[in-house]
């Protein structure tokens, strides 16, 4: 081949590659982990219904907020999903655009921002998810205090609170459950003791590792454990700790300057419909809308009495303290050899 | 563009020669531009970021971020552990891979291609995949602990992948192909007549190896060491999966400081440049050293 022809060929290829690929309709949701709150199933149903693709995204709450902040001038995401406190923090940083999706009025007050910068889609509780076959005959831990027993050494995992919102809620909330003061010392003392039994502070989603028994005990959302038990039929027990637990509202918001804004609005509307809310309930996250669940599904949820001692943590306070709590965790729990 | 090719005096046939040189040069140009753009712009940006304190970017240039790497125990440990791990992995993989590299260049045997394939396969895996492989093999419910438990009744080696030996093993696993390939290409160039000469002059096998072969392949060993050291220094995908408790490496610290709020981008930038300097310095220094040995041997 003549050298000139090679050059022409290369340039032709470059031009071709530069052409934007045929864009199928998409909505980008940051923090769309398929194994968390059944986002895999929910987005699949939406694509089947409308043809709009919502690709999976493995960022945790905090990473999502950081990404939105970094991309502020040139947003890539349309909507974002977080744990309540981090979503509140992101909204107060002005990363969201006010939007009130259809059905807004039926979201209970306190679970939404009056201006529409964030709203809850479903909620869960922090629970102890136990793979009973991986316990090898050890008793199932029933409380936060049980988790400190030396028999569970190297068996417990919770998510890195700097990355995942669920881990953050646990770290920030356990203090209140243990009756600690505002200084959070009781909570941090607990986590220092717990550290002796920790296998790892997960930076990736650990759902599959729990299923396989690689992780015997995962402190995470109750819904994920119930799905592992009822849908994936793994030997999982979902323990609501005897001391009580914290509710974990999971919120969404429309990203300011979203590239596919109109599509995103339709998607956010749909997430509050009975159909979508029921899908979320099928993976055992408590729908925020008053949807009727059929009796057999309702029976698989733990009885209301189990959550009698669940605390609702004030999101504004948590959000205000979030950075301090994470820095303290980094220093006191993960720091130094 | 003023291409060096144009400086060649044009005689009969010079035109063709010029064209022969022009095409590859033109083809290289986009690559060169891309590399320069990817190198110069981000590095300048990083350097600038590393000199500004994240919480007070208007207070002027400071070396605080760099000092923090050495004064905060966690970051100092991360740097030291990164160096330790990379040194151990580089030394280990260079030594281990000498044998297969030798085998591949000197011997013909059945299954050589298969063996070579197996040995170079890990290079295609991302660090995270190696991490998952380690969990499957040596995790808490990994394959090896389960077999050992069936044999001995004790869950031996269970969860070793979440500990330091597991990490070394994982790093060795993906450095083995790199070291093997580097050594192999160097050994191929080794002149076999030198050995024959040594043997015919009455040297024992050991003397031949230690006095003739080893000094000759020393530059190759050094360059294999340099390559594996730099690559280990920069990779952290394995650790991202294993999240070894209380253990951290500098690249992982950069990752968390950069992406997990409250982020400290000044510190992350300072860490990145420190890592880059060490990796580049070590690689450059070792390769220079290797070249001087090569000249001495020639």
pLDDT digit string (tens) for A80-112?
999 999 999 999 999 999 999 999 999 999 899
Angle, helices B112-120 vs B73-106, to 10°: value is 170
Most A CBs within 10 Å: which of B27, B160, B243, as the mutation test of the A interface? B243
In chain A, which residue's Cα lies nearest the Cα of B28? A7
In chain A, which residue's Cα lies nearest the Cα of B74? A336
Measured CA to CA, the distance from residue A216 to residue B101 in angstroms comes to 42
CB-based contacts of A40-47 (< 8 A; 24+ apart in sequence):
A41/A279, A41/A282, A41/A283, A42/A271, A42/A276, A42/A279, A42/A280, A45/A275, A45/A276, A45/A279, A46/A267, A46/A270, A46/A276
Q: Report the range of poorest mean pLDDT among A125-139, A225-239, B1-15.
A: B1-15
Contacts B22 to A, Cβ<8 Å: 3
CB-nearest partner of A7 from B20, B23, B263: B23
Contacts A330 to B, Cβ<8 Å: 74
Q: How far is CA B36 from CA A13, B3, B42, B43, in A?
A: 22, 18, 10, 10
Contact A160 B243 (CB under 8 A): yes
Contacts of A13 (CB under 8 A, 6+ apart): none
Q: Which of B267, B161, B52, B51 is nearest to A330 (CA)?
A: B267
Q: How far is CA B94 from CA B170, B181, B224, B277, B290, in A?
A: 15, 11, 6, 22, 14
B244 contact A CB<8A = yes
**How confident is residue A326, by pLDDT bands cut at 50, 70 and 90?**
very high
Contact A200 B73 (CB under 8 A): no
Contact B245 A200 (CB under 8 A): yes
Chains A, B: CB pairs < 8 Å: 90
Contact B162 A160 (CB under 8 A): no
| A29-123+249-304 matches A124-247+307-332 in fold | yes
pLDDT by residue (tens digit) across B8-26? 444 455 576 777 788 888 8
Of the candidate CATH numbers 3.90.1150.10, 3.50.50.60, 3.30.460.20, 3.40.190.10, the domain formed by A29-123+249-304 belongs to 3.40.190.10
Measured CA to CA, the distance from residue B93 to residue B62 in angstroms comes to 40
A93 contact B CB<8A = no
**Please, how many CA atoms are within 13 Å of residue A33, restricted to the half-sphere of its CB?**
23
Strands A29-30 and A79-83: parallel
Task: Write down the pLDDT at residue A20.
Answer: 45
Contacts of B190 (CB under 8 A, 6+ apart): B105, B213, B216, B217
**Please, how many CA atoms are within 13 Å of residue B283, restricted to the half-sphere of its CB?**
15
Q: What is the DSSP letter of B212?
A: I
Q: For chain A, give percent helix, strand, coil, nearest 5.
A: 45, 20, 40
Q: Which of A284, A310, A312 is nearest to A298 (CA)?
A: A284
pLDDT by residue (tens digit) across B165-213? 889 999 999 899 999 999 998 888 888 888 888 889 988 889 888 888 8
Mean pLDDT of A37-47: 94
Q: Could you name the CATH architecture of A124-247+307-332? A: 3-Layer(aba) Sandwich (3.40)
Contact B259 A66 (CB under 8 A): yes
**How confident is residue A2, by pLDDT bands cut at 50, 70 and 90?**
low
Task: Write down the pLDDT at residue A315.
Answer: 93
Angle, helices B250-259 vs B73-106, to 10°: value is 130
Burial A89-105 (b: 16+ CB within 10 A, else e): bbbeeebbbebbbebee
Measured CA to CA, the distance from residue A87 to residue A98 in angstroms comes to 13
B151 contact A CB<8A = no
Kindly compute the dihedral angle of the four CA atoms of residues A305, A309, A310, A316, in this order, to the nearest 10 degrees: 140
Which residues 14-73 on chain B approach chain A with CB closer than 8 angstroms?
19-20, 22-23, 26-27, 30, 73
Contact A6 B19 (CB under 8 A): no
Stretches where chain B sits below pLDDT 50 are 1-11
Element (DSSP H or E) covering residue B157: none
Residue A137, token pair as written in the block = 């005959």
Q: Which of B166, B90, B180 is nearest to B131 (CA)?
A: B166
Residue A20, token pair as written in the block = 């934007």
Most A CBs within 10 Å: which of B246, B261, B262, as the mutation test of the A interface? B261
Task: Write down the pLDDT at residue B7.
Answer: 46
Task: Write down the pLDDT at residue A73.
Answer: 93
Mean pLDDT of A180-192: 93
- Hey, what domains does chain B have and what are their CATH numbers? 72-191+201-297 (1.10.3720.10)
pLDDT by residue (tens digit) across A265-317? 999 999 999 999 999 999 899 999 999 888 999 999 998 888 988 999 999 99
CB-nearest partner of A10 from B27, B135, B141: B27
When the pLDDT of each residue in chain A is averaged and rounded to a whole number, the result is 91
**How confident is residue A207, by pLDDT bands cut at 50, 70 and 90?**
very high
**How confident is residue A14, by pLDDT bands cut at 50, 70 and 90?**
low
Q: Report the range of poorest mean pLDDT among A231-235, A333-337, B78-82.
A: A333-337
Neighbours of B48 (CB within 10 A): 12
B141 contact A CB<8A = yes
Q: Which residue has the tokens 């999706």?
A: A101
Contact A199 B135 (CB under 8 A): no
pLDDT by residue (tens digit) across A51-64? 999 999 999 999 99
What interface predicted TM-score (ipTM) does this complex get?
A: 0.78
**How confident is residue A12, by pLDDT bands cut at 50, 70 and 90?**
low
Contact A14 B241 (CB under 8 A): no
Quote the pTM value. 0.84
Domain boundaries, chain A: 29-123+249-304, 124-247+307-332
In chain A, which residue's Cα lies nearest the Cα of B262? A323
Contact B262 A3 (CB under 8 A): no
Contact A3 B141 (CB under 8 A): no
Measured CA to CA, the distance from residue B27 to residue B31 in angstroms comes to 8
CB-nearest partner of A162 from B27, B162, B260: B260
- Would the pLDDT of A18 be above 60? no
Mean pLDDT of A23-37: 90
Distance from CA of B50 to the nearest CA of A (A): 17
Q: How far is CA A81 from CA A44, A159, B83, in A?
A: 17, 17, 38
Contact A215 B26 (CB under 8 A): no
């Amino acid at each position: 081949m003549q050298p000139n022809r090679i050059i022409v060929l290369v340039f032709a290829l470059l031009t071709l590659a530069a052409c934007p690929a045929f864009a199928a309709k998409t909505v980008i949701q940051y923090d769309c982990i398929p194994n968390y709150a059944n986002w895999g199933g929910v987005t699949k149903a939406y694509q089947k219904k409308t043809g709009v693709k919502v690709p999976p995204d493995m960022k945790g709450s905090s990473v999502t907020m950081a990404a939105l902040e970094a991309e502020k001038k040139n947003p890539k995401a349309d909507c974002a999903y977080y744990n309540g406190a981090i979503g509140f923090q992101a909204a107060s940083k002005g990363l969201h655009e006010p939007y009130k999706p259809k059905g807004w009025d039926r979201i209970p007050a306190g679970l939404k921002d009056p201006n529409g910068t964030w709203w809850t889609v479903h909620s869960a509780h922090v629970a102890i998810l136990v793979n009973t076959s991986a316990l090898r005959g050890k008793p199932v831990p029933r409380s936060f205090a049980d988790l400190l027993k030396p028999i569970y050494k190297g068996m417990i995992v919770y998510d890195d609170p700097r990355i995942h919102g669920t881990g953050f809620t646990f770290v920030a909330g356990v203090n209140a459950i243990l009756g600690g003061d505002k200084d959070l010392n009781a909570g941090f003392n607990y986590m220092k003791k717990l550290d002796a039994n920790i296998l790892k502070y997960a930076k990736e989603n650990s759902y599959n590792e729990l299923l396989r028994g690689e992780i015997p005990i995962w402190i995470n959302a109750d819904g994920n454990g119930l799905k592992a038990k009822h849908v994936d039929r793994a030997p999982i027990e979902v323990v609501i700790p005897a001391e009580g637990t914290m509710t974990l509202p999971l919120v969404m918001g429309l990203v300011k300057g979203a590239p596919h804004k109109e599509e995103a609005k339709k998607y956010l509307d749909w997430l509050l419909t009975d159909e979508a809310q029921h899908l979320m309930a099928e993976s055992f996250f408590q729908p925020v809308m008053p949807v009727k669940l059929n009796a057999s599904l309702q029976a698989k949820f733990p009885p209301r009495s189990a959550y009698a001692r669940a605390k609702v943590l004030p999101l504004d306070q948590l959000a205000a303290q979030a950075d301090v709590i994470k820095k303290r965790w980094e220093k006191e729990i993960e720091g130094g050899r | 563009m003023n291409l060096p090719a144009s400086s060649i005096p044009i005689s009969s046939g010079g035109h063709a020669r010029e064209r022969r040189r022009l095409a590859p040069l033109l083809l290289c140009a986009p690559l060169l531009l891309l590399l320069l753009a990817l190198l110069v712009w981000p590095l300048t940006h990083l350097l600038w970021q590393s000199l500004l304190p994240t919480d007070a970017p208007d207070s002027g240039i400071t070396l605080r971020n760099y000092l923090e790497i050495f004064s905060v125990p966690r970051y100092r440990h991360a740097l030291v552990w990164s160096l330790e791990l990379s040194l151990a992995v580089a030394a280990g993989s260079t030594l281990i891979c000498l044998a297969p590299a030798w085998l591949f260049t000197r011997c013909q045997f059945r299954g050589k291609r298969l063996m070579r394939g197996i040995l170079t396969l890990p290079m295609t895996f991302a660090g995270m995949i190696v991490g998952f492989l380690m969990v499957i093999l040596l995790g808490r419910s990994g394959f090896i602990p389960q077999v050992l438990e069936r044999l001995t009744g004790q869950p031996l080696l269970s969860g070793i992948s979440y500990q330091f030996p597991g990490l070394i093993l994982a790093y060795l696993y993906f450095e083995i192909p790199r070291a093997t390939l580097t050594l192999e290409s160097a050994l191929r160039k080794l002149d076999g007549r030198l050995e024959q000469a040594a043997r015919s002059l009455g040297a024992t096998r050991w003397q031949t190896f230690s006095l003739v072969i080893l000094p000759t392949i020393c530059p190759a060993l050094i360059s294999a060491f340099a390559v594996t050291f730099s690559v280990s220094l920069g990779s952290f995908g394995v650790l991202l999966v294993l999240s070894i408790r209380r253990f951290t490496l500098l690249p992982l610290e950069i990752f968390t400081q950069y992406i997990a709020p409250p982020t400290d981008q000044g510190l992350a930038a300072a860490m990145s440049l420190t890592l880059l300097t060490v990796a580049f310095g070590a690689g450059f220094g070792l390769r220079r050293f290797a070249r001087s040995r090569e000249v001495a041997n020639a």
